[in-house]
């Protein structure tokens, strides 16, 4: 695995789609432009699905803007709405890749800056409109198929529903569909940690076949092993550092404060593609670009 930034990684996925023979990861992706009809479709979808968590909305959005990953196409109907197959295909992508597509689309369609109010916990200075550049976000990437799984040793026995005991479990990156899990709501990614871990465990050395742990099995795990697996799961899942890092511009006794204020990125749709964006009138030398028609 490598640590990089969005600026350096560019339009390539942190993980990608394994090839049919499972030897290569397709990382190049192409997006459709964010046209006004997408807002219309999302508005209709919200009216019909108002109680569903934000992850479902992100799924719908990504299904409409994602044109392809490698040779795999993600189709939409003539009116621009995603097909059922495309929605399903998005849920089967890795969590890290869906979030990267979501953030890359925001950068490409609006710009890379997040504007937000901050208050320094050290000097108390309040900045009403601080700026964070998404291009500076850290990204952990998977560079080979062999990195998609990792064996982790536990300190205590994990008792399985089969009656077996094990001290080694296999972890794999979680897929976006985990975010559709019943009971998983809200807009904080860290609240998904327990369920993501459950779905990250893909095998145990006590059994040869794929093995998915139940919530009851995970509940019985000792704290030290839970912490170990959560950290290792975050590592193998790769992806974005979903936090903003802003250096406090305040002063303490006439000297710059310089404290780095770190907060969770507000990825809710209306904020991410709306209130966090500061509009500046275009100029003649403004660069133009896009994803095509």
pLDDT in tens, 63-75: 999 999 999 999 9
pLDDT at 182 over 70: no
Stretch 113-134: mean pLDDT, rounded? 93
CA–CA separation, 161 and 27 (whole Å): 38
- Which alpha helices (DSSP H) does the chain contain, by range? 6-9, 36-48, 54-65, 84-91, 95-109, 193-200, 215-219, 223-237, 269-270
Q: Which of 85, 75, 64, 79 is nearest to 269 (CA)?
A: 64
At residue 170, the pLDDT reads: 92
Stretch 136-147: mean pLDDT, rounded? 92
Between 22 and 120, name the one with better pLDDT.
120
pTM value?
0.88
Residue 59: φ, ψ to 5° = -60, -45
What sign does the CA torsion over 95, 100, 106, 112 have?
positive
Tokens standing for residue 153:
């040793």
CA–CA separation, 229 and 223 (whole Å): 10
pLDDT at 108 over 70: yes
């Amino acid at each position: 695995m490598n640590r990089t930034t969005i600026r350096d990684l560019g339009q390539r996925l942190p993980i990608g789609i394994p090839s049919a023979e499972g030897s290569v990861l397709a990382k190049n992706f192409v997006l459709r432009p964010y046209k006004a009809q997408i807002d219309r479709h999302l508005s209709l979808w919200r009216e019909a699905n108002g109680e569903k968590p934000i992850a479902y909305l992100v799924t719908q959005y990504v299904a409409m803007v994602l044109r392809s990953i490698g040779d795999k196409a993600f189709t939409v109907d003539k009116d621009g709405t995603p097909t059922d197959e495309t929605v399903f295909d998005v849920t089967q992508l890795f969590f890290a890749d869906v979030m990267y597509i979501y953030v890359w689309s925001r950068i490409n369609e609006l710009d890379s800056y997040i504007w937000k109010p901050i208050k320094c916990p050290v000097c108390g200075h309040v900045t009403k409109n601080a700026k964070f550049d998404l291009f500076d976000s850290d990204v952990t990437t998977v560079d080979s198929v062999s990195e998609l799984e990792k064996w982790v040793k536990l300190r205590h026995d994990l008792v399985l529903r089969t009656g077996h005991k094990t001290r080694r479990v296999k972890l794999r990156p979680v897929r976006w569909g985990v975010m559709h899990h019943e009971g998983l709501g809200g807009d904080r990614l860290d609240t998904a940690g327990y369920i993501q871990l459950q779905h990250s465990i893909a095998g145990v050395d006590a059994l040869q076949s794929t093995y998915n742990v139940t919530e009851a099995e995970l509940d019985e795990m000792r704290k030290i092993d839970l912490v170990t697996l959560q950290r290792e799961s975050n590592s193998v899942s790769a992806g974005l550092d979903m936090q903003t890092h802003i250096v406090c511009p305040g002063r303490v006794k006439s000297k710059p404060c310089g404290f780095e204020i770190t907060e969770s990125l507000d990825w809710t749709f209306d904020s991410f593609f709306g209130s966090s964006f500061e509009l500046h009138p275009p100029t003649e030398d403004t660069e133009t670009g896009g994803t095509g028609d």
